[in-house]
Amino acid sequence: MRYITIFLVLLVAIVAADEGIFKAAEYTKMFTTWVAKFKRAFKASAFASKLAAFTKNVDRITRANAQSKVTGFTCGINKFADLTPTEVKKLLRLRKPKNKPSLLEGEAESAADGPAGASKPKVGTPETDAAFTAFKPINWLSKLTPVKDQGQCGSCWSFAATATVEAAISLKYGVAPPVLSEQILIDCIDAAYGCDGGWATDAFAFMKTTAKGAVETSSYGRYQEEQGECRKASVDKPKYSLASWQESGGSDKVLYSYLTKGAVGVAIDADTIVFYKGGIVRAGNNCTQEINHAVTVVGANTDAAGVKHWIVRNSWGADWGEQGYFRMQATGGNLCGIHETAQLPIVA
C-alpha cells in the first residue's frame, strides 16, 4: 500500500508540475535521484510540494549556468535544491545590531562611537592603496578549522565570528586553531537573535566582556542548530581572550589591508550563490548590495586570466561550493555588498 501511495503521489506531482525547461518526468527522475543522493525523507504529503520547489530551482540553476561566462561561476543541484524562497530566507538571516549605522568607505567604528573594545583602524591610507595594488597572494586556510555547517539555523554571524577568532589565535600563538563554540553565542548573546540573525561584533563583545574569552566547543557542548538555554556559568575558563577588534566600512583596499593581518569577517548578499558550485563570482552577477549573510575572507589571489579575487569561507558545510569555500572578484566596487563591513578580531 505504501508503494502504491508513493506511486500515486508521483503521478500527481508529474501532472501538477509547471512547464519548465525540462519535461515533467525528467524533473521527477532528477528529484528522486537527488533524494537518494542526499538521503532525504519526506512524508508522502510533502513530496509534491518539494518536487515543485526542486523543479523551480533546477530551472534557476540551468539559467544561471547559461550565463556563467558573464557571472564567472557555475551552479549545481546541491543540498539546497528543494528549498523554497521562504526557506532560503531562513538560512540567510544576518541582522545588524539595533541603531548601527552603515559603515561606508573611509568610516570606521571606534571605541568612542561603537561598542567598548572596538579600535579605530586606519583606512584609505597610501599603505593600504599600495598593498592592494600589489595584491600579493594571501592564504590563511592552514590557520582555520575544518569548514562547519550552520544547518537550518540562521546563525551565519556566529560562524563568521568564530572563524576569524580561531584564525587569529592560531596566527598569534602558532598553535592549531581551537574549535570555538558557536552555540554559546547563539544561546547567550542578548543583543543578537539566535537563529534569527546577529552580527559578528556582538560575538566579539561577548567574548571580550561576558565570557572573558573564546569558549571552545569541548567546554560548552556541540552545535545544536537551534537556540537553547544559556549555560555560560558552567563552562571552563577560556584559554584565549579577545583584546579588541577593528571594524571598518570598506573598500577592496581596506579589506586587503585587514586580510594581511588575518581572516576577516564580511557580509554579502548571498541569494545568487545558494547553488554555487565553483568559479569566481564576478561583477556580471546580479546580486544586490542588500546584505543577508556573514562569511569570512581567508585569502586573496590572482587567477591565470589575471582576475584578482578573494577566497571566502562559508558556513554551509564542506559539501557546498568548492569544499565549503567560494571565490569572489575583487572588483574595486561593492560587489554583493562586500564593502558594508570588514571585521578583524585582535586576541590578547
- Catalytic sites, residue numbers: 156, 293, 314
End-to-end CA, the chain = 64
Contact between 109 and 123 under an 8 Å Cβ cutoff? The reply is: no
Please give the Cα distance from 158 to 185 (Å, whole number).
6
Ramachandran region, residue 335 (left: φ > 0; alpha: ψ -120 to 50; beta: rest): beta
Half-sphere exposure of 268 (CA within 13 A, CB side): 29
- C-alpha grid cell for residue 268? 554579502
Q: What stretch of H or E contains 244?
A: strand 242-248
* Residue partners of 53: CB distance under 8 A and separation at least 6: 82, 83, 84, 87
Q: How far apart are CA 43 and CA 37, in angstroms?
A: 17
Closest CA to 153 of 315, 41, 40: 315
Per the rule left: phi > 0, alpha: psi between -120 and 50, beta: everything else, 83 is: beta
- Report d(CA 46, CA 55) in Å as an integer: 14
C-alpha cell at 96: 545588524
